[in-house]
Amino acid sequence: MSDHDKVNIALSNKPPQGLVTAQRMAIESAEKIVHETMPGETEKGVLSRLENCARAKGAVGFWTPTVVGFGPGSLSCFPTDKPSDRPLWNIDIGHVDVHPVTEEGWWGDCTRTIVVGNHPRHHEILSTLSRIHHEVLSSLEPEMRACDAFQLFERKLKTTPYRLLDRLENIGHSLSQGGSYEDGYLNRWNKSVLKGAWAFEPFIGTDLYGAKIEDVMWFGPSSCVWVK
């Protein structure tokens, strides 16, 4: 892609179709696997199914390692986390985080949380996180800074019994065609103005378990679009 094309994309209020395709691929794959995963399946087994699902939808690869964590594994979601033979129990919580690449080189990024069984605390944390995530994304504005978006989340988190679990203390990062993290993270220190695509991935929990959701927002000159 030429520099001229990159400038035109950055000036658009609509997300580029390539990004939409990649993100839809990520969302559909993650949500299908969350819906279908059953107690007794292992992290490694689910990882294989998840990547096969994304490939069936057109992914030609993955720009960073796929992450799957169950039970104690729900407390960490990082590219260096290696899925294990740990099975999903019949009362459990976990997550899948997938990063497909399209043939045109666009990157997607989606995390969804799995809850099985009737433990009320697991359902409660996912419900709370879903509400906060939706409220934050609905409150974003063009030309907002990364640190301001983080503060929106932080204020809402303080009203809950949960804490931020991300080891880098952020709730997301910049995302581009063939690149990520170029404009930094969504944290309290980054004063970069939000332009183009940013992945929002709040990850909260207790000392026992965690929940994470991730979606991508597109920031144009005068609009913010949830890429679905």
The number of distinct structural domains making up the chain is: 1
Q: Return the pLDDT at 10.
A: 60
User: What are the pLDDT digits (tens) for 176-212?
Assistant: 999 999 999 999 999 999 999 999 999 999 999 999 9
Q: What is the pTM of this model?
A: 0.94
Task: Note the pLDDT of residue 2.
Answer: 44
Kindly tell me if the per-residue pLDDT of 219 is higher than 90: yes
Closest CA to 202 of 161, 156, 152, 166: 166
Angle between helices 17-36 and 43-56 (to 10 degrees): 140
The yes-or-no verdict on residue 7 having pLDDT over 50 is no
pLDDT of residue 107: 98
Range of the domain at 183: 3-227
pLDDT at 204: 98
Q: Which two tokens stand for residue 2?
A: 């030429």
pLDDT single digits (tens) 83-123 = 999 999 999 999 999 999 999 999 999 999 999 999 999 99
- CA distances 71 to 84, 95, 138, 186, Å, are 12, 9, 30, 27
Instruction: List, for residues 33-55, the tens digit of each pLDDT value.
Output: 999 999 999 999 999 999 999 99
Closest by alpha carbon to 58, among 118, 15, 18, 3? 18
pLDDT for 9 equals 56
Alpha carbons 69 and 97: distance in angstroms, whole number:
9
What is the rounded distance in angstroms from the CA atom of residue 40 to the CA atom of residue 86? 9
pLDDT for res 8: 47
Helix-strand-coil split of the chain, %, nearest 5: 35, 25, 40
Q: What is the CATH number of the domain that holds 57?
A: 3.90.230.10
pLDDT tens digit sequence for 10-27 = 679 999 999 999 999 999
Residue type (1 letter), 84: S
Q: 159: buried, middle or exposed (CB in 10 Å: 19+, 13-18, 0-12)? A: exposed
Q: Mean per-residue pLDDT for 126-140?
A: 98
DSSP string over 171-217:
SEEEEETTEEEEEEESSSS---B--EEEEE--EEE-SS-EEE-BEEE
pLDDT tens for 66-79 read 999 999 999 999 99
* Measured distance CA(227)–CA(207) in Å, rounded: 32
pLDDT score for 149? 98
